[in-house]
Structure 1
């Protein structure tokens, strides 16, 4: 077969979209018409090149043009290696990347085009594997508008001309198998844009990355052996909404000084177990270039951040947490991504992962791009990424960041800066369909996990099933409760009686969704101060307010989330640049607050009435008769065959013999008193129990800035 000089030049310079059509082993005919096999190889500056076949046959290659060598053999096609000698006498013998067939089949390519490849990470990215007797790394990347793609890295001195990838046609996928390349190799893709420029990009599907500020991808191969099969089986048999859930939110880099994945395991498990939290929620652990983003501007969606160790180190941490009975939730950010030149933005020189219309494709406030949720391959990239964290890292839930910004086309945009949907509305229909798909797919493939929406608007049906038109989340953060309750609790107790509705309004909609009540990192940063610092009064009053607020929060319908440091009364607001002020635990009052949080979690977990029927309005009732007091908030919770009554006194003075009709006559044990002297309180209470009269009327001793939990014992 005659090959034009122009084609040889393009292949020699690594600029051709189908280098395998020229290089490698090809059926051919010689000048006499005899069938032969032609071997072509790119070996610039070589003195001689010989193809050595598996049966020992040696075929000398002749230089053709621009470092391209060729030779022919008869007989059967067999695997071969290339033996190269250079003018100085040095040389090497290595396998030829261009003799290997593609690692992706037609079904893979079809599913990618359709946006339905649920194990996308198995076929795109970099994978160490054996192929036709050779061990190496298979690379594949989606770049449909590229004119050429090359793999570059330390293994080829960042010169990709010898490792040009082949296009797999309409799929937009490019692939190459590089023999001999092992896990740990550092690489990027060198992409020729439609404009003819060469740009360097990290692998969107990389499963590991260099430690920032370095930005290259790293070939990863897991050797971790999980030990949490019993945990996963038990998880699949349960529904999180009917289980206790109190979440400890953690930014791993600032929890303690110099923490990494493995080093954090013992300390984090000990702390969380001692406090009784059921779950840990990590701020995003996917790779991100800027530490000050706390992980919310992701550059490597499939790569755990290397700041804290390897992917297997993260697997170890999660496995250890499961072994200790602690669930793991991770923040996930499918709403936007940064514009860093090395990452997803303008990946093949065109808007690819981002929507091409800036009215839909850019967050001007955040300086980021917005995914093109209507494009099959982009939607597939995100859906598969959620599945990847469940499958490969066994996380028990994903908290989806900034859902409101995804739902509305006019989010943070003035008139004229957004384009309505096809029906003239403001809803982002493509994003809604994506959220429905990712939730439905996650629950189908991983029963028992939790998909949690950070959604700050009144969008209906966030936790309704997708087959009923809902978004299909398991939980929604109750941002309304958070805002109202924090406004209320920061008021001087003298004036709270005029604002009782701020605390109780959440009861009106508490059962419209499956809620999580969040006091998250967002509430203790950027000048907002810590939770303790928000409380009014002197130090004792701040601590009393803190205990009362947490008691009310834990008893309110919904699950709970508390950001690290608040459990012991961090005084200063959080900064990702320094660890928490653990020295505060040397002060008795802060140690007592932490002890109280442990007691709060233990009592909560022991009372099914506080978590079993969170979404059932019939399991809740406001109380107050016969003496309604705007400083007193009382309600009952039912579940597990028992009833818990919660009585909150948010005034600064004790209330003696406060009359309250309880749901049943008899004895009610005081199972929690936030004013207990053991926790630093004044000790006002009911000596462990109250007795009603025959009509259920009790005279309660309500502590100042205090909350009581009472449980009924029938027949006593």
Structure 2
């Protein structure tokens, strides 16, 4: 707490928590804080010979900081240092060199490519108390459809405040429950999309101040939209002015390059076995949740953390103490992270981007899991995109790509991601994966989205996919807002509306009893059909992945009576051919597909139909 900074010293209790790696409000002690006509600075640099603070307040001529006993923390007070002033720490490292470093706990920065930290004190008054009160309930048992956003390219040139005026209304109109923001923490290179972080405690200055970022989140919450944030604890860049060799030694990074260097990204890997480094990261997760009211974190590149041999050849990695390839310290870190977040913020959600078959990613820690709330279902994404990318005449031979994901659909608590990674690096756009002419591609996109929204798991869609742009995404070009989406946005509005009002589609996402195949083996017709049910509601989804309509298609159903057609992606209002069921079908006393009743259903080409049992 600020009142623990007395003169040039930090309380012994705070120092004890820091050295033990247990200070869950680290940002309230380290960093720059304005007090009594000046500012106090505190930084962890245990192997430094000397530490000074330089900035606008002393003409960049160093003011010495004092070592706080054996803790490795240096602290000091500078009169006249005020909010808005730029600063850095000038560190005489163990290697004998003087290097100016940005503050690891700076809460604001200069706009890149400039690299100084900036003194900041928030004066923001929040207006989202109603949202936070509702957040105390379990987000995992509620509907979640996520619109993934790269702030710099959604509409290039907008500030945080302008995004609050434009993005919030747009997402609310489409009916998404959440946005996921690609990394917002400060990063020097825009082409990294934010995944090479240098300022873990500072929202990027590219779009405005930290309080203006708070305003954006506040406006989203007031519109009933949750905010998820991409968070990058797996690695950090080598920039000398940032975390690398911070005190002249490998401080934040692991000293052994077999564990401390990432071969794919040319970056450094955190030393997850060091208490103070773990504290830096866990406190950072709490910081975003507490200071910015973020509703959850999507943890990037978890697989790279779990395996010592990730992207490493024989001889490039060292086994753990038991001879295995598991990164035991990183595993312990992730468990501690999730336990701490859920203890402090039980209504938040922790999401793992994890691409392997590691067991129990979303299982509680006391059940020997990693403790995440959700895991990205990368297997579903790869298999389904491979299937829809094929010409219908070939899909018959790859039908298992649709059905195999249900074998493991309930092994974890899954989110189905169609993310930025699927529309870059030569992969093309989402609609560009669909075969055929423009009409067929649009029909295929509509049917795919309805299939995704009905499949067990939460949903995520990257911005711009709704615009049906043939180009793949570029962070420099931004989205093409001259496109209308050709009625795909109209479909998304209806998918989100029906999804939110239908517990069958989300209340039992992780329960096998909430899902059942009607028919999974009609490969000759390229058709799959299944049931979703919860709380007395039953919804049937049938998808025709062929390029011809399926008329009078006999569909087994579990109950007699009227089944309302609540979604039909081939409807004229979405640009389809108009094959449909006049709003409903009636189930007859004719068994089919292992069900006691059935109805004849008309399904357009590349189309999905949702039927809800009428009450």
What TM-score results when the alignment is normalised by the length of structure 2?
Answer: 0.97
Does the CA contact (< 8 Å) of 2:96 and 2:248 recur in 1? no
Indicate the residue corresponding to 1:656 in structure 2: 551
Aligned partners of 1:621 and 1:497: how far apart in 2?
A: 22
Which residues of 2 match residues 544-623 of structure 1 at below 5 A?
A: 544-585=443-484, 590-623=485-518
Which residues of 2 match residues 164-183 of structure 1 at below 5 A?
A: 164-183=64-83
Aligned partners of 1:129 and 1:328: how far apart in 2?
A: 32
Which residues of 2 match residues 72-471 of structure 1 at below 5 A?
A: 101-130=7-36, 135-160=37-62, 163-236=63-136, 238-471=137-370
Aligned partners of 2:152 and 2:462: how far apart in 1?
A: 14
Indicate the residue corresponding to 2:575 in structure 1: 680
Name the SS of the counterpart of 1:296 in structure 2: coil
Aligned partners of 2:332 and 2:247: how far apart in 1?
A: 26
Name the SS of the counterpart of 2:399 in structure 1: helix
The change in CA–CA distance for 1:128 and 1:151 in structure 2 (over 3 A counts) is: same
Aligned partners of 2:426 and 2:602: how far apart in 1?
A: 38
The change in CA–CA distance for 1:631 and 1:244 in structure 2 (over 3 A counts) is: same
Name the SS of the counterpart of 1:111 in structure 2: helix
TM-aligned CA deviation for residue 257 of structure 1: 2.4
Aligned residues: 605
Higher deviation after alignment, 662-671 or 644-653? 662-671
* Structure 1 residues 257-279: Cα deviation after superposition (integer angstroms, max 9, x where no partner): 21110111011111101100000
Aligned partners of 1:210 and 1:517: how far apart in 2?
A: 36
Moved over 4 A (4+): 625-630
Indicate the residue corresponding to 1:509 in structure 2: 408
Aligned partners of 1:266 and 1:214: how far apart in 2?
A: 28
Aligned partners of 1:653 and 1:403: how far apart in 2?
A: 42
Larger radius of gyration: 1
Does the CA contact (< 8 Å) of 1:279 and 1:327 recur in 2? yes
Name the SS of the counterpart of 1:206 in structure 2: coil
The change in CA–CA distance for 1:159 and 1:277 in structure 2 (over 3 A counts) is: same
Does the CA contact (< 8 Å) of 1:478 and 1:517 recur in 2? yes
Aligned partners of 1:272 and 1:707: how far apart in 2?
A: 24
Task: Give the counterpart of 1:702 among 572, 582, 603.
Answer: 603
* Structure 1 residues 123-173: Cα deviation after superposition (integer angstroms, max 9, x where no partner): 00001123xxxx21010000000000000112222111xx10110121100
Does the CA contact (< 8 Å) of 2:403 and 2:520 recur in 1? no
Indicate the residue corresponding to 1:82 in structure 2: none
TM-aligned CA deviation for residue 102 of structure 1: 3.0
Aligned partners of 2:95 and 2:198: how far apart in 1?
A: 24
Does the CA contact (< 8 Å) of 2:522 and 2:528 recur in 1? no
TM-aligned CA deviation for residue 591 of structure 1: 3.6
Which residues of 2 match residues 32-111 of structure 1 at below 5 A?
A: 101-111=7-17
Higher deviation after alignment, 597-606 or 246-255? 597-606
Aligned partners of 2:579 and 2:289: how far apart in 1?
A: 48
Name the SS of the counterpart of 1:560 in structure 2: strand
Indicate the residue corresponding to 1:85 in structure 2: none
* Structure 1 residues 164-216: Cα deviation after superposition (integer angstroms, max 9, x where no partner): 01101211000001122111110000000123211110000000000000000
Aligned partners of 2:6 and 2:165: how far apart in 1?
A: 46
Aligned partners of 2:212 and 2:298: how far apart in 1?
A: 22
Does the CA contact (< 8 Å) of 1:207 and 1:219 recur in 2? yes
Name the SS of the counterpart of 2:280 in structure 1: helix
Aligned partners of 1:100 and 1:369: how far apart in 2?
A: 35
Indicate the residue corresponding to 1:638 in structure 2: 533
Does the CA contact (< 8 Å) of 1:399 and 1:451 recur in 2? yes
TM-aligned CA deviation for residue 463 of structure 1: 0.4
Does the CA contact (< 8 Å) of 1:436 and 1:472 recur in 2? yes
Unaligned runs of 5+ in 2: 591-596
Name the SS of the counterpart of 2:194 in structure 1: coil
Aligned partners of 1:121 and 1:574: how far apart in 2?
A: 36
Name the SS of the counterpart of 1:183 in structure 2: coil
The change in CA–CA distance for 1:686 and 1:301 in structure 2 (over 3 A counts) is: same
* Structure 1 residues 503-545: Cα deviation after superposition (integer angstroms, max 9, x where no partner): 1111110001111100000000111111011110000000000
Higher deviation after alignment, 378-387 or 627-636? 627-636
TM-aligned CA deviation for residue 657 of structure 1: 1.2
TM-aligned CA deviation for residue 627 of structure 1: 7.0
Does the CA contact (< 8 Å) of 1:625 and 1:661 recur in 2? no
TM-aligned CA deviation for residue 629 of structure 1: 4.6
